Amino acid sequence: MSDAALAAPVRLGLLGSPNSGKTTLFNALTGLRAKVANYPGVTVDHREGVIDAAGRRIAIIDLPGTYSLSALSPDEAVVSRVLDGELDDAPDALAVVADACTLERSLLFLAQVLRRGTPTCLVLTMTDELHARGGSLDLPRLERALGIPVLGVVGHRGLGLDRLRELLAAPEQWARPHLLPPEDARARADWAGSILDSVMATRPRMSRSTEALDRIVLHPVAGTLLFAAVMVFFFQLIFAWAGPAMDLIDAGIGAASAEVRATLPPGLLSDFLADGLIAGVGSVVIFLPQIVLLFGLLHFLDGFGYMARAAFVIDRLMGRIGLEGRSFVSLLSSYACAVPGIMAARTIPSPRNRLVTILVAPLMTCSARLPVYTLLIGAFVPATAVAGPIGLQGLTLMGLYLLGAVSAMGAAAILKRSILAGEQLPFYMELPPYRLPTLRLWTMQVASSAWAFLRRAGTIILTVSMVLWVLLTFPRGEPPASLPADAAASYRLEHSFAGRMGHAIEPVIRPLGFDWKLGVGLVASLAAREVIVATLGQIYAASDEAGSLREAIRNDIDPRTGEPLFTPATVAALLVFFVFALQCMSTLAVMRRETNSWGWPAFAFGYLLLLAYGMSFATHSLVTALSA
Amino acid sequence: MSVALPAFPLPEPTPEPEGVPLCDVAPGAAGVIESVDAAAAIAGRLLDLGFVPGTAVRVIRRAPLGDPVVYELRGYRICLRRSEASHILVRPA
């Protein structure tokens, strides 16, 4: 090898099917140095990581998982476009990652890759599982049969990685096949079969534990019950079990605010730190318990192999509205947050199904709605028990979740039959054996989800909290001297920028039972739903320093009627408004990124706002009529 | 339900040359793929997934709602919907 070849960095493309262990291997090779990258004009992003091995730099490109190089959709075409050098410099070498237990199928894909003529090596993962399942593989013989380097690794335990790094550093030295595999599908299958016969003395049997588990997990009755139980578990996790940690954060934020007020002299700086900055940070951090718990479960179940089963169980139902089981996983993720949910829609091969999933994902009850629901339900729905531990408050919350989910289904069915009607791509989904995710990979995934929330959503929420504080504080109008202190605060707020905006939209939202204060909240929550809680907190803290927000809104009297402002009709209308409206800048931003246009986020925002207003108005009228 | 018998003699049953659509094979049964009869793009993907003529396929189980169905072939398990599996014709084993 020449010195020049030694100096030039290697661009290595990592190829493989979903479930091949490609991502685990990529993480093991690059650690935390990987970056998410985008090709211009392409909606699918990929990860790249640069490593140093054997004195050489290797840029590893983790390409989207695929079973085939013949693309059926523009997203699938990304892989072959990268290999052709259409999007960036073409990779110098390719590593095909394949699960040793499904080698026969993987050889069909490898054959396609080999026919391209780029230096290629084969990396076999799960070799430990192959042996555990009674399979025996003659790696040197496979190497000879294929004519390319073959290496077995156990990615999650880091076995074989040193040798792999060494191999990847010198693709110039890789053996090339003497004879390319056949192109014709049948001849290619014969080629794969004959190679397998010569290298595998015994085939791995199907995993016994997987067989046994699947008999329960996919059983018509037990499997359906398990599916329902897992969904209930998700509810409990985010609504009940995240509670203690959230209360703790709440108390901490409250204490910090009080500390600032006690330490600093009263004035603008003290107000800014206590009401603006600390409260703003609090409204971001408060979500971390839910997000960590939810993503902890989601990533565990996905790595374990249950999410594919869940998609299998629910596919028929999703198929009826024109979607597929994998949309369910994306919509389920949207229960935590539509941002990762919309990103998870990437795994849906059909571009149309993917777009429909993205457009209805905001209807799923994300965790940002929870503070709004919790506040209103906690303040206005009596905590009476209905049956045993099940209370009216919980049932109301469940009802809101259901309304969101049912509306998402309805919207999807309508979209698939109207503006997004068209031909279907074939549906197929591998059911991998159950595997226990490793702690390291799981931790990395959960941490990166939490980090993504802090970075993508957190920064926006914090910024908006700051802007809001400014809108609510300035201009600092001077109330008439005769007013008592809390009325003076209320006067100042009403004459602030935000107060004026609230007043401006009041005529439009009056039919829903909302006053200018809710108007301010709605305007503010266009940036992110939970901001309305912070806003109302600021509004009511300003006009009523004593008592919690819950007490404050319960006791608020509409000056025009002399009645409580929050009538049952208004509370119901507000809850329904939040079920439908797409009040989340982060969601719009991620939609923009995933669809590569502002058109779709604008469409989603528009149709959901109309739906929210209409449903909210209908609810207000109905409840008013019923309580009259 | 009673069915009126035809007044004319039935033609001799001829052997089915086409094979049975995979979606009609019962769980637990197996077959060998005879042909994949679909639009080029879909057929191509099914071939890439290993549904190649001559391949042995076993029907593992149906989803609780009846569709899709898990198939085992070439050492792995994959589920297809009825609409895709109907393109794959098999000779029952």
Query: Quick one: which H or E segment has residue B41?
Result: helix B40-48
C-alpha–C-alpha distance, residues A345 and A360, integer Å: 11
Please state the φ and ψ torsions of residue A152, each to the nearest 5 degrees: -95, 135
Structural domains present in chain B: 20-92 (2.30.30.90)
Tell me whether residue A250 is in a domain. no
Tell me whether residue A226 is in a domain. no
Residues of A in contact with B59 (CB under 8 A): none
> CB contact, 8 Å: A382 with chain B?
no
Tokens of A137: 């593989």
Q: Of A289, A219, A210, whose CA–CA distance to A249 is shortest?
A: A289
Single pTM value for the model: 0.79
C-alpha–C-alpha distance, residues A80 and A96, integer Å: 14
Residues of B in contact with A431 (CB under 8 A): 70, 77-79
Asked if A103's CB is within 8 angstroms of B44's CB, the reply is no
Q: What is the pLDDT of residues A317-337, one digit of tens each?
A: 888 888 887 787 778 778 777
C-alpha–C-alpha distance, residues A330 and A408, integer Å: 12
From A430, which residue of chain B is nearest by alpha-carbon distance? B78
> CB contact, 8 Å: A258 with chain B?
no
Place of tokens 């025996």: A136
A580: left (phi over 0), alpha (psi -120 to 50) or beta: alpha
Tell me whether residue A55 is in a domain. yes
Q: What is the pLDDT of residues A54-85, one digit of tens each?
A: 889 999 999 988 999 998 877 778 899 999 99
Tell me whether residue A330 is in a domain. no
Place of tokens 């995993």: A207
Tell me whether residue A101 is in a domain. yes
Measured in whole angstroms, the distance separating CA B58 from the mean position of its chain's CA atoms is 10
Measured in whole angstroms, the distance separating CA A602 from the mean position of its chain's CA atoms is 20
Q: Which residues contact A251 (CB under 8 A, 6 or more apart)?
A: none
Asked if B41's CB is within 8 angstroms of A185's CB, the reply is no
Model pLDDT, residue B1: 47
Confidence of residue A42 (pLDDT cuts 50, 70, 90): low
Closest-CA distance, B10 to chain A, in angstroms, reads 39
Assign A266 to helix, strand or coil. Answer: coil
Confidence of residue A543 (pLDDT cuts 50, 70, 90): very low
A373 in Cβ contact with A366 (< 8 Å):
no
Model pLDDT, residue A544: 41
Asked if B70's CB is within 8 angstroms of A218's CB, the reply is yes
Closest-CA distance, B61 to chain A, in angstroms, reads 8
> CB contact, 8 Å: A101 with chain B?
yes
Tell me whether residue A530 is in a domain. yes
Please tell me the total count of domains within chain A: 2
Q: Of A35, A27, A305, A302, whose CA–CA distance to A157 is shortest?
A: A27
Residues of B in contact with A221 (CB under 8 A): 64
A322 in Cβ contact with A356 (< 8 Å):
yes
Confidence of residue A121 (pLDDT cuts 50, 70, 90): very high
Query: Which of A205, A228, A250 is at the close of a domain?
Result: A205
Confidence of residue A424 (pLDDT cuts 50, 70, 90): low
Residue B75 has its nearest CB partner, among A105, A219, A427, at: A105
Closest-CA distance, B16 to chain A, in angstroms, reads 23
Asked if B48's CB is within 8 angstroms of A68's CB, the reply is yes
Asked if B78's CB is within 8 angstroms of A430's CB, the reply is yes
Closest-CA distance, A311 to chain B, in angstroms, reads 10
Query: Which of A140, A172, A205 is at the close of a domain?
Result: A205
C-alpha–C-alpha distance, residues A305 and A140, integer Å: 31
Alpha-carbon radius of gyration of chain A: 28
CA distances from A126 to A154, A205, A320, A399 (A): 6, 14, 36, 44
Tell me whether residue A457 is in a domain. yes
What CATH number is associated with residue A125? Answer: 3.40.50.300
Query: Which of A205, A231, A266 is at the close of a domain?
Result: A205
Closest-CA distance, A397 to chain B, in angstroms, reads 28
Q: Which residues contact A614 (CB under 8 A, 6 or more apart)?
A: none
A349-363, A386-400, A493-507: range with lowest mean pLDDT: A386-400
End-to-end CA distance of chain B: 32
Residues of B in contact with A66 (CB under 8 A): none
Closest-CA distance, B7 to chain A, in angstroms, reads 43
Residue A224 has its nearest CB partner, among B41, B64, B76, at: B64
Tell me whether residue A249 is in a domain. no
Strands A93-99 and A120-125: parallel
Tokens of A58: 């290797």
Please confirm whether the linkage preceding A40 is cis (ω < 30° from 0): no
Model pLDDT, residue A181: 94
Which of B76, B78, B87 is the best substitution to test chain A (most A C-beta atoms within 10 A)?
B76
Q: Which residues form the domain of A455?
A: 451-627
